[in-house]
Amino acid sequence: MRRAGAAWALLAALVLTGCGRTEAPAPDAAAERAQATERAKQRAYGGAEVKALEDAKKLEADINRKAQERDPDK
């Protein structure tokens, strides 16, 4: 009788704790953002806007770099 009660208690504890259940790994935000950007580029609607935004960011970085090089206060 004691063994049966202990077995049920153990079984209940295993079920309640989720024995064997694995947690899904947390997604990497940077990787998801990069994948979403690539998917947006491939779409017929919105792809041009994404490419234009990336080009503008590259241009901004280039202008800022050139401005730092010409800074007379350096």
pLDDT at 57: 94
pLDDT of amino acid 7: 73
Contact of 46 with 40, CB cutoff 8 Å = yes
- How far apart CA 29 and CA 27 sit, in angstroms, is 6
How confident is the prediction along the chain (74 residues), in pLDDT tens digits per residue? 567 777 777 777 766 666 556 677 777 898 998 888 888 878 767 778 888 888 999 999 999 999 999 887 76
pLDDT for the residue numbered 56: 95
pLDDT at 59: 97
Domain locations in the chain as residue ranges: 45-74
